[in-house]
Amino acid sequence: MVTKVKIGILASGRGSNAQAILDAIAEGAISGQIAVIISDNRQAQVLERAAVNDIPACCIERSAFSTKSQFEDALAGELDRHGVQLVVLAGFMRLLGPAFISRFPRRIMNIHPSLLPAFSGLDAQGQAIRYGAKVSGCTVHFVDEGMDTGPVILQQAVPVYSEDTTEALAERILEVEHALYPQAVKLFCQGRLHCDSRIVRIEAAKEDGK
């Protein structure tokens, strides 16, 4: 019997990328299971998604703790309690600190709506439009101590049209995110991602029976 990788999702909002990963698991495309969903926002729609799918979930609010380190200790403790092996950030609107990251080395993924290292940080879609870029896209990367600076796992380009609004480009990129993020999670669960310093190498898929 194949052991499924336990995944923990951190999200602050609607959780559409979390839903894309849930759907891929349900379809049998990912050999993993969502062990817990944690939000820092009690009103987050992702918590409703967890309830509908009968997934353990909780809200851990930053305001409940006097320091960032205490807040992150609570996050890590909950992930550990559920045996999480891969942490997936799905619209989690907080920059995680070094102590948290060191507890899950190369086991935290994030997705960003640009082709990193271009247009990091907030409003990446708006940045691309204002810059006059003809191509943007999205990037799945491992999280390190910087903002959107971790090793790149997968990227996919999306055209930027002259008439684009930030909202239109964001929606078009999001559609690609919903395919790319599950693919990266799938590769992790298959044990096919290997980091050589900053370079993420993807091992070829093994043939059945080998």
Active centre residues (catalytic): 112
- Of the candidates 58, 35, 33, 63, the one whose C-alpha atom is nearest the C-alpha of residue 47 is 58
Residue 136, beta-bridge partner list: 158
Cβ atoms of residues 156 and 118 within 8 Å: no
- Phi then psi for residue 7, to 5 deg, are -110, 135
Residues with Cβ within 8 Å of 77's Cβ and at least 6 positions away in sequence, in order, are none
Three-class SS state of 60? coil
Structure tokens at 134: 């003809």
- Of the candidates 178, 98, 113, the one whose C-alpha atom is nearest the C-alpha of residue 143 is 98
Structure tokens at 183: 């693919």
- Rounded to whole angstroms, the Cα distance separating 90 from 76 reads 16
**Through-space distance between the first and last CA atoms of the chain, rounded to whole angstroms:** 16
Identity of the residue numbered 210: K
